[in-house]
């Protein structure tokens, strides 16, 4: 073959450009390493291995928030019942420790009910900002409720000493101070008791020695007279209010404290699931 013919063949053969070389290399790489469609399959970033795990965490988040919602409602109901129509608690306890703890638990119970919706919304929409806000607020409520529940148990240990001192002080002002008078009447009528340790306390600590009508029993809807010739066992409440009230307050403090601590401990599950869900979302 002559040099002229070889030169003609070289001219007819197109030269391979740099762009064509790069396209060819990219095509070969795609054949060897196909794109991973699973990376964009889930908004939450769950791969095929983690899909079940992510769904489990998500549904656990729903369940825990539902229980938190119920717990918040129960806590509010019990706390409100403890304070409702019991003016003697404030006047005769001699301390705001118990009432303060109960009010704290009422507020946190209401917040929990609303916060549970935020947690569910964050799980459904898969918004990291909502989950982070939920986690922070839930952690604060966890600490507050735990402290409130513990305060109820602390109060339970102090209730008898503080109440006895306050009862002996306030009984002298019965009939003179309106709030104290109402507190004693509500206490004696509500818990069916009379005086501090016995009905004779009214004769000992009051100069007039008159027993309040709130000490008189009601029989068939009719209050019995408490004149000077009354028969104690038939016409008045003979139990002293100190022991009755102490038992009443201890029972209420135990109930409120137990519910508060139980709900606060269950919040740990909400914290764990929200944190796990937050880490899974990309």
Q: Over pLDDT 70: what percentage of the chain?
A: 70
Q: How many residues does the chain have?
A: 282
> Long-range contacts of range 161-169, CB-CB < 8 Å, 24 or more positions apart?
162/93, 162/94, 162/95, 163/92, 163/93, 163/94, 163/242, 163/245, 163/246, 163/249, 164/196, 164/242, 165/94, 166/91, 166/92, 166/93, 166/94, 167/92, 167/196, 167/241, 167/242, 168/196, 168/205, 169/94
Model pLDDT for residues 26-70, shown as the tens digit of each residue: 555 554 444 444 443 344 444 445 666 767 778 888 888 888 888
**222 compared with 60, residue with greater pLDDT:** 60
pLDDT above 80 for 140: yes
Distance of alpha carbon 261 from alpha carbon 145, whole angstroms:
7
More confident residue, 156 or 167: 167
- Lowest-confidence range among 32-46, 54-68, 124-138, 209-223? 32-46
164-175 residue pLDDT tens? 888 888 888 888
What is the rounded distance in angstroms from the CA atom of residue 215 to the CA atom of residue 68? 43
pLDDT at residue 123 is higher than 50: yes
pLDDT at 223: 66
Does 255 have pLDDT greater than 50?
A: yes
Looking at per-residue confidence, does 70 or 91 come out higher? Answer: 70
pLDDT bracket for residue 281 (50, 70, 90): confident
Query: Is the pLDDT at 163 greater than 60, yes or no?
Result: yes
Q: How much is the average pLDDT of 222-244? A: 72
The pLDDT value given to residue 46: 46
Confidence of residue 13 (pLDDT cuts 50, 70, 90): very low
* Weakest mean pLDDT among 37-41, 169-173, 176-180, 220-224: 37-41
Half-sphere exposure of 155 (CA within 13 A, CB side): 30
What is the per-residue pLDDT for 139? 92
What is the Cα gyration radius of the chain?
Answer: 37
Separation between Cα atoms, residue 166 and residue 93, nearest integer Å: 6
Of the listed ranges 56-70, 121-135, 169-183, 225-239, the one predicted with least confidence = 225-239
- Check whether 8 has a pLDDT greater than 60: no
Residue 263 has pLDDT above 60, yes or no: yes
If one counts every other C-beta atom within 10 angstroms of the C-beta of residue 160, the result is 16
Residue partners of 187: CB distance under 8 A and separation at least 6: 88, 92, 193, 241, 245
The lowest-confidence range among 58-72, 215-229, 261-275 is 215-229
Sign of CA dihedral 175, 181, 204, 229: positive
Report, as an integer, the average pLDDT of 16-30.
52
Is the separation of the CB atoms in 97 and 154 below 8 Å? Answer: yes
Average pLDDT, the chain: 75
Q: Which two tokens stand for residue 46?
A: 């769950």
- Helix H segments across the chain? 3-12, 18-32, 51-83, 87-92, 97-125, 128-170, 178-191, 201-205, 232-235, 241-280
CA 75 – CA 265 distance, rounded (Å): 14
Please determine, for residue 262, whether its predicted confidence score (pLDDT) is greater than 80: yes
Given a cut of 80, whether residue 6 has pLDDT beyond it is no
Burial class from Cβ neighbours inside 10 Å (0-12, 13-18, 19+) for residue 206 reads middle
| Residue 24, pLDDT score | 56
């Amino acid at each position: 073959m002559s040099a002229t013919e070889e030169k003609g063949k070289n001219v007819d053969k197109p030269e391979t450009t740099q762009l064509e070389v790069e396209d060819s290399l990219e095509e070969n790489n795609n054949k060897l390493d196909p794109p991973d469609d699973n990376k964009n399959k889930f908004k939450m970033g769950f791969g095929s291995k983690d899909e079940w795990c992510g769904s489990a965490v998500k549904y656990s988040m729903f369940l825990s928030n539902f229980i938190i919602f119920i717990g918040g409602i129960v806590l509010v109901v019990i706390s409100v019942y403890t304070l409702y129509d019991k003016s003697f608690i404030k006047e005769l306890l001699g301390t705001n420790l118990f009432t303060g703890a109960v009010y704290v638990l009422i507020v946190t119970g209401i917040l929990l009910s609303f916060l549970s919706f935020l947690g569910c919304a964050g799980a459904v929409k898969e918004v990291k900002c909502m989950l982070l806000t939920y986690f922070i607020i839930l952690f604060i409520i966890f600490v507050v409720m735990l402290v409130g529940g513990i305060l109820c148990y602390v109060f339970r240990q102090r209730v008898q000493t503080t109440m006895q001192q306050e009862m002996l002080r306030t009984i002298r002002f019965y009939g003179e101070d309106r709030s104290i008078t109402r507190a004693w009447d509500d206490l004696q009528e509500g818990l069916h008791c009379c005086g501090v340790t016995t009905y004779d306390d009214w004769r000992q600590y009051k100069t007039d020695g008159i027993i309040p009508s709130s000490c008189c029993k009601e029989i068939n809807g009719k209050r019995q007279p408490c004149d000077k010739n009354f028969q104690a066992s038939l016409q008045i409440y003979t139990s002293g209010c100190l022991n009755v009230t102490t038992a009443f307050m201890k029972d209420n403090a135990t109930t409120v404290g137990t519910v508060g601590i139980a709900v606060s401990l269950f919040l740990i599950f909400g914290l764990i699931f929200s944190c796990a869900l937050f880490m899974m979302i990309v």
